[in-house]
Structure 1
Amino acid sequence: MGMALHPQLLQGQPYVYLAYLYRFAGAGQPGKGGAPNYGGYFFTTRIVRYEYQPTAQTLTRPVVLCDTLPGSSDHNGGRLAIAPVGGKDYLFYSIGDLGAGQFDNGGRPNHA
């Protein structure tokens, strides 16, 4: 799903950030336009910070930063990035449009 390395990974900030699907959250009702999720399969995404141990080349000490982000079985690509804002590093996460179930609505008109 997504991975970011702290900019000072080998200089005292040994953090690796991962985002991944971890829990099935349910399925919708196919073909019912009023259903809030339009028949898709939905999951929950988790973002976890690990400590990188260079001698063992392993990730240890997981800390869950967020575990309530929506996920889907379709269009679920995500990206983690670390970027400075005002001189301080921030972790950003972007996610796909979660197009779950769009094929169940192929015959519905678009009134845009």
Structure 2
Amino acid sequence: MAFTFFNCKKNRSANDISGTWKMVYAKIIENDSTMVKDLSHTEFIKIINDSHFAFFNQDLNNDENFYGGGGTYLLNGDDYQEVLSYTSAKHLKDHSFSFKVQFKGDTLI
């Protein structure tokens, strides 16, 4: 999966992932298919500190479509791995998600 996040925090160091991030683009790659996620009716925010992350997603047109979660993460170079410990989605609880990350200006990719 590929996600682009916009950082709402200024003056961070090159590898400082801590901050509040708003998703502005999402491309999901699974096997041999690619899908660009429509974000026109939703807001996805991720908050990352020194050891934990939390996220929430809110449908802008329907208050019933809200979800969130959180857990711990590890960042080693461009390897970022989350363990989702807090969620109401039981099938995702304690699941590990791995990503390659990079920074371009105020953007986390």
**TM-score w.r.t. length of structure 2:** 0.29
Greater strand content: 2
Higher RCO (CA 8 Å, separation ≥ 6 residues) = 1
